[in-house]
A and B are shown apart, each in its own frame.
Chain A
Amino acid sequence: MSRMLKLIQNEQAKIYIRKSSWVMYIILAAILIGFVFIQKNFADLNTEYQNDDWRQVLEDKNKKLEKEMKKDEFAAEINPLTIAKNNYYLENDIQPEPYDAWQFTKDAVLMVSSLAGLFTIIIAAGIVANEFNWGTIKLLLIRPISRSSILLSKYISILLFALYTLIFGLIFSWILGAIFFGVNGLNPSIVAETANGFKELAVVPQIFINYGYQLVGLVVMATFAFTISAVFRNGSLAIGVAIFLMMGSSTIVSFFLDKEWAKYILFVHTDLSQYAEGNEPMIEGMTLGFSITVLFVYYVIFMLLSWIVFTKRDVAGQ
C-alpha cells in the first residue's frame, strides 16, 4: 500500500513539476476573474431590496416591468418571468437576498467544471503516452512493480488532478465572490424556477449538486482520454479526439437522436445535469438510473481496454 502511495507521489510530482500544469491553474484563475467582472456589471445583485422597504421596491419594479412590456416586444417575452419571481417573493414574504460569494460560486460551477474537464483530459492524454514519447517507460517498467500498479497509480493521479483543480476553482471562485460581493451568511437561499414553479432553494447544497452532476461527465471523459493514451500511446491523438468529442458531442448526437440506438451513445449521458430540476433529458423516457448504467458500462470497457493493452503489450523500440 505504501508502495502505491509512493507511485502516486511520483506521478503527482511529474504533473506539478511542469510549468504547463501551472499555466492551467493560471488560465482558470484568469477566466474566473473575467467572470467576476461580468457578474459585477450584469448580474442581478439585489442591492435595492436590502432595506426595510423592499416590498415597495419590488412592487414598483413590477409596475415598471409591465410598462416596458407594452412598449417593447423583447421585454414582453422575458419580463413575465421576472414579475412572477418577484410576486413569489411578495406572496411568500421572502426578502430577496443579496448576490454574494455563494451565488457567484454556484454560477461559476459550469465554467470551473468545463475547464477542469478540459485540463484533466490534457493531463490524462499525456500521462501514459508521454512516458513513451520521452522513452522513460523503459525505466519505469523495469522496477519490481507490476504494470497494473503503475497504470493504477497514473489513473488515480488523474482523478486527484481533477479533484485538486475543482477544489481550486471552487475556493478561488468563492474568494473572488467574497471580495467583490461579500458573504451573505453561511446558508443563503435563492428563489429559482423548477419543474413545479418557483421554489426557495438553499445555495450551498446547489453548488455541490451541480458539481456532482458535472463530475460524472468529467471523470468519464478523462477516462476516455486515458484509454486512448494507453492504447495508442499517442498523447496528441488522445487530446484531439477527447476534446473534439467533448465539444462536438452535442452536435454529433443531435444527428442520431431519432435513432433507436441513440440512447446507448456515450455522449447522450455525459451531462447528467439533464436530470436536474427544471431540465429535461435529451431523449424522452431516459432515467438517471439508465444513464448511470450506460456510463458505468462504458467506464468498465475503457478501464479494461487500458489495462489489457498496457499490461500485455510489448514495449518495443520506436
Chain B
Amino acid sequence: MSLAAIELVDVKKTIGKKEIIKGLSFSIPKGEVFGFIGPNGAGKTTTIRMIVGLMKLTDGDILIQGNSIKTNFKQAIREVGAIVENPEMYPFMTGLQNLKHYARMVPGVTNERIHEVVKLIGLEKAINEKVGRYSLGMRQRLGIAQALLHRPSILILDEPTNGLDPAGIREIRQHIRKLATDLNVAIIISSHLLSEIEQMCDRIGVIKNGKLIKIQNVGGETTDNLIHHIEVKPLDKATQLLRDHYQIEPIELDGNLSFRCEKEQVPSIIKSLVENNCAIYQVNVANGTLEDQFFELIGENIIE
C-alpha cells in the first residue's frame, strides 16, 4: 500500500488572533522515522496536539491511514500511540496498573501483550512499583510502553530522550529503529536537540514560527557543500577577494570569515588568499552538518 501513514494537509491553527501554525503540509510513509525539530515555541507541540486530537484544527486536515482526525477520530486515533510533552502517569498507581488502565481503553490488548511491552522497554523490575517513585527516565520508558500497547501504526514521541542518560538514549534509539524497520511503524519524534535525534531519523523537518521551513533527508545529503570558517587577516581584503573571484558572500564571525562552498574550491581559495598576502591561521569545516544547517535555518531563537 502506497498510502502514507500520516498526512498533514495545509494544517492551520489560530489561537485568539494569533496564527500559531501557518499551513503545515507533509506526509510520512510507513516505516519512516521523522524528526520534527524546531526551537521552543515554534509549534511542535501544538502540531502534535492537533495530530492526536487534543486540539482542534482551525483549517486543513490530518489523515491517519486515510482517516481524518476531524471527522473520523476513533478510527484515526486507534492507529496512534503517543507521548505528548512529559510522560505523565498516575503517580499513585504502579507501572502495571497504569498500563492496565490504558489497556482497558482499547479493545484487544491482552495481559500477555502488556507483559510483552514491559519486557520490550526493559521495565520488568520496576513495573510493580508506584510511578511516583520512578525516575524521569523510567517514566519515559513507561510512556513509550503505554504508546505501544495497542500496536499503533504511527508512534508520536515528544522529546523522548528527555531525562534519559546516554545509555538510555542509545537504547531508545535502538528500539525506535527496530520498531520502524521490523514493524513498519511510522514514527514522529520531536526535539529541540537535533544532535540527539539526528542518528535515529530518516528525515528531518524543521519548523520555525509555525512554518515548515525545510525537510531534509538524513545520511543522503551532499557532504560537499559545507560551511567553512577561515581565520584570516586582514578581513576586508579577504572578503573582497572571495567576493570578486568566487562570488561568495562571507559572513564575519568572531574575527573569522564563514561561508559556504564546494569542497573542491577550498585549496584554490587558500592559495589565492596566500598569494594576495592574507595570513591564514586556521581553516575549519563546520562539523555536524545538520546542526549547523539547523542553526542557519532557525537563526536566532526568536519567537514571534
A6 in the interface (beta carbon within 8 A): yes
Contact partners of B26 in chain A: CB under 8 A: none
Contact partners of B102 in chain A: CB under 8 A: 139, 143
B75 in the interface (beta carbon within 8 A): yes
- Minimum C-beta distance from B43 to chain A (A): 12
Please tell me which stretch of B85-93, B195-203, B233-241, B293-301 contacts chain A, meaning at least 4 of its Cβ atoms lie within 8 angstroms of it: B85-93
Known A142-B80, A143-B77, A144-B75: A136·B85 in contact at CB below 8 Å: no
B215 in the interface (beta carbon within 8 A): no
Contact B91 A10 (CB under 8 A): no
Contact A144 B104 (CB under 8 A): no
Please tell me which stretch of B27-35, B48-56, B167-175, B248-256 contacts chain A, meaning at least 4 of its Cβ atoms lie within 8 angstroms of it: B48-56
Known A144-B106, A314-B55: A14·B90 in contact at CB below 8 Å: yes
Cα distance A135–B88 in the bound complex, in angstroms: 6
Contact B84 A138 (CB under 8 A): yes
Contact B104 A145 (CB under 8 A): no
Interface residues of A in 259-316 (CB under 8 A from B): 314-316
Name the CB-closest residue of B to A20.
B92
1/0 contact string of B89-122 vs chain A (CB within 8 Å): 1111100010001101111000000000000000
Cα distance A136–B86 in the bound complex, in angstroms: 10
**Majority SS at the chain B contact face:** loop
**Majority SS at the chain A contact face:** loop
- Minimum C-beta distance from A154 to chain B (A): 13
Q: Which one of A13, A145, A317 contacts B97 once the chains associate, using CB atoms below 8 Å?
A: A13
Contact partners of B83 in chain A: CB under 8 A: 139
Contact B49 A315 (CB under 8 A): yes
- Minimum C-beta distance from A301 to chain B (A): 24
Cα distance A136–B105 in the bound complex, in angstroms: 14
- Minimum C-beta distance from A13 to chain B (A): 7
- Minimum C-beta distance from B279 to chain A (A): 52
A42 in the interface (beta carbon within 8 A): no
Cα distance A199–B83 in the bound complex, in angstroms: 66
Cα distance A17–B84 in the bound complex, in angstroms: 25
Contact A18 B84 (CB under 8 A): no
Cα distance A135–B86 in the bound complex, in angstroms: 8
Contact B73 A146 (CB under 8 A): yes
A47 in the interface (beta carbon within 8 A): no
1/0 contact string of A125-148 vs chain B (CB within 8 Å): 000000000111011111111100
Cα distance A10–B105 in the bound complex, in angstroms: 9
Contact A315 B101 (CB under 8 A): no
Cα distance A13–B84 in the bound complex, in angstroms: 24
Cα distance A316–B78 in the bound complex, in angstroms: 21
Interface residues of A in 139-185 (CB under 8 A from B): 139-146
Cα distance A237–B191 in the bound complex, in angstroms: 35
Range for the number of chain A residues in contact with chain B: 20 to 34
Q: Which one of B49, B90, B105 contacts A143 once the chains associate, using CB atoms below 8 Å?
A: B105
- Minimum C-beta distance from A200 to chain B (A): 51
Known A141-B54, A144-B78: A134·B91 in contact at CB below 8 Å: yes
Cα distance A3–B15 in the bound complex, in angstroms: 34
Cα distance A317–B82 in the bound complex, in angstroms: 16
- Minimum C-beta distance from B191 to chain A (A): 17
Cα distance A64–B52 in the bound complex, in angstroms: 80
Contact A134 B88 (CB under 8 A): yes
- Minimum C-beta distance from A318 to chain B (A): 9
Contact A17 B104 (CB under 8 A): no
Q: Which one of A17, A135, A316 contacts B49 once the chains associate, using CB atoms below 8 Å?
A: A316
Contact partners of A314 in chain B: CB under 8 A: 49, 54-56
A-contacting residues of B (Cβ < 8 Å)?
A: 15, 45, 49, 52-56, 73-75, 77-78, 80, 82-86, 88-93, 97, 101-102, 104-107, 146
Given contact pairs A17-B92, A136-B88, A141-B54, a sample of 16 additional A-B residue pairs in the complex whose CB atoms are under 8 Å apart: A9-B104, A13-B101, A14-B90, A17-B97, A134-B88, A134-B91, A139-B83, A139-B88, A144-B73, A145-B74, A145-B105, A314-B49, A314-B55, A315-B54, A316-B15, A317-B45
A selection of 26 A-B contacts at a CB cut-off of 8 Å is A6-B105, A7-B104, A13-B97, A14-B93, A17-B92, A134-B90, A136-B88, A138-B49, A138-B54, A138-B85, A138-B88, A139-B84, A139-B102, A141-B54, A142-B52, A142-B53, A143-B77, A143-B105, A144-B73, A144-B74, A145-B105, A314-B56, A315-B54, A315-B55, A316-B15, A316-B55
